[in-house]
Chains A and B, each alone.
Chain A
Amino acid sequence: MGFEDWAAEPINWVFLAVALATTVSGLRVVTSPNVVHAALFLVAALAGTAAIFLLLAAEFLAWVLVLVYIGAVIVLFLFGIMITRAPTGRDEAEVDHGRRLPAVLVSTALFILLLWGLVSQWGDTTLDSVTAGTPTSVLAEGLLGRFVFPFEVVGFVLLAALVGGITIARRDLSPAEEKERESR
């Protein structure tokens, strides 16, 4: 499949725009000196991911991503950022450490390795049958049929993680404070 054939499909231009937006926001997530900006750029990157899911006709998953990630996880992150900001006003340039070059080398080398592997494995395998879309009932039957046990287990993991998070994060009172509260 040559580039002309590829460019003749309009959906590929949609993909290109979404991919560009996702890549730029992803880059800003890891390079932005401001923690809040990084979290907000993660919103943009995840919205791009949801758009990619829509292009791949995975509608349910796209909206799950929007609801769970953009709706809940990012809010959790923003709370974490607000709470862990040092009260003395830490300067913004300090969020990275100075040794950027080895990290650039490692990630570039990993990307080249992945690129080589992907191109040699998949070549230009086409995805032509995507237009149908996955009905949500298929996912529901899978999750409540064949995968019902992992589904329950993962729900239990979520519950345990939330209870554990509350237990870890709540402040234990010192014995003096405890006594004061009891006498009140």
Chain B
Amino acid sequence: MILNQFLILAALLFCMGVYGLLVRRNAVMVLLSVELMLAAVNINLVALDALWQTAEALGQIMAVFIITIAAAEVGIGLAIILLIFRNRRSANVDELNLMRW
């Protein structure tokens, strides 16, 4: 196995996440794209950890933190989307113009 096969797969997943982030209207699907990008970053961390073989598995520990923060992000993000949906009857990000001047 070479290192780049993992890193390039991660780059591919990350770019698909960027595409989804840019093109989706529904806020829940924007969050799904963010999850895809976070998974790509985790692949990067684990691959580089496998390359360097640090004694404490630093890359994997960092990936554990990313997974935890991502879970918190999804919880709070969906709560905000729920609130917006309740107030505006829509969860589309391009209709959220309350703060537009």
Q: Would you call B96 an interface residue if the criterion is a C-beta within 8 Å of the partner chain's C-beta atoms? A: no
Residue contact A1 to B61, C-beta cutoff 8 Å: no
Residue contact A169 to B83, C-beta cutoff 8 Å: yes
Residues of A within 8 A of B8 (CB): 115, 118
Residue contact A49 to B32, C-beta cutoff 8 Å: no
Q: Which of A27, A38, A49 is the one whose CB lies under 8 Å from B29?
A: A38
Residue contact B90 to A118, C-beta cutoff 8 Å: no
Residue contact B11 to A80, C-beta cutoff 8 Å: no
How many residues of A are in contact with the other chain, CB < 8 A?
Answer: 90
Q: Which of B6, B17, B55, B67 is the one whose CB lies under 8 Å from A52?
A: B6
Residues of B within 8 A of A38 (CB): 29, 32
Given contacts A123-B4, A147-B61, whether A86 and B75 have CB atoms under 8 Å apart is no
How many residues of B are in contact with the other chain, CB < 8 A?
Answer: 73
Q: Would you call A175 an interface residue if the criterion is a C-beta within 8 Å of the partner chain's C-beta atoms? A: no
Complexed CA–CA distance, A158 and B94 (Å): 29
Complexed CA–CA distance, A127 and B49 (Å): 10
Given contacts A19-B5, A103-B19, A130-B50, whether A77 and B78 have CB atoms under 8 Å apart is yes
Q: Would you call A114 an interface residue if the criterion is a C-beta within 8 Å of the partner chain's C-beta atoms? A: yes
Complexed CA–CA distance, A155 and B50 (Å): 26
**Which parts of B12-36 form the interface with A (CB within 8 Å)?**
12-20, 22-29, 31-33, 35-36
Residue contact A165 to B89, C-beta cutoff 8 Å: no
Residue contact A30 to B46, C-beta cutoff 8 Å: no
Residue contact A12 to B43, C-beta cutoff 8 Å: no
Residue contact A35 to B26, C-beta cutoff 8 Å: yes
Complexed CA–CA distance, A114 and B9 (Å): 11
Complexed CA–CA distance, A142 and B91 (Å): 41
Residues of B within 8 A of A46 (CB): 35, 39
**Which parts of A147-171 form the interface with B (CB within 8 Å)?**
147, 150, 154-155, 157-158, 161-162, 164-166, 168-169, 171
Residues of A within 8 A of B75 (CB): 76, 161-162, 165
Q: Which of B18, B36, B53, B78 is the one whose CB lies under 8 Å from A110?
A: B18
Query: Which residue of chain B has the shortest Cβ distance to A147 in the bound complex?
Result: B61
Chain B interface residues (CB < 8 Å from chain A): 1-9, 11-20, 22-29, 31-33, 35-36, 39, 42-43, 46-47, 49-51, 53, 55-58, 60-61, 63-65, 67-76, 78-83, 85-86, 89-92, 94
